[in-house]
Amino acid sequence: MLQGHQVGLRARQEPDVPVLHNELHNDVLTRSRASGEPWRPVPPGSAASPFAIGEPNDRVACFSVVTLGQEELAGDALLWDIDLHNRSAHLGLGLRPAFRGKGLGTDIVRVLCQYGFAIRGLQRLQVETLVDNQAMIGAAERVGFVPEGTLRRAAWVDGRFLDLVVFGLLAEDWRPE
More confident call, 30 vs 167:
167
For position 30, what pLDDT does the model report? Answer: 86
What SS3 class is residue 160? Answer: strand
How many domains does the chain divide into?
1
Chain-centroid distance, C-alpha 41: 21
Residue 36: is its pLDDT beyond 90? Answer: no
- Choose among 81, 91, 108, 92: nearest CA to 10: 108
The average confidence (pLDDT) of the chain is 94
The CATH number for 16's domain is 3.40.630.30
Q: Are strands 61-67 and 88-95 parallel, antiparallel or unpaired?
A: unpaired
Domain containing 86: what range? 2-173
How many other C-beta atoms can be found within 10 angstroms of the C-beta atom of residue 75?
A: 25
- Tell me: the pLDDT tens digits for 50-82? 999 988 899 999 999 999 998 899 999 999 999
For position 32, what pLDDT does the model report? Answer: 87
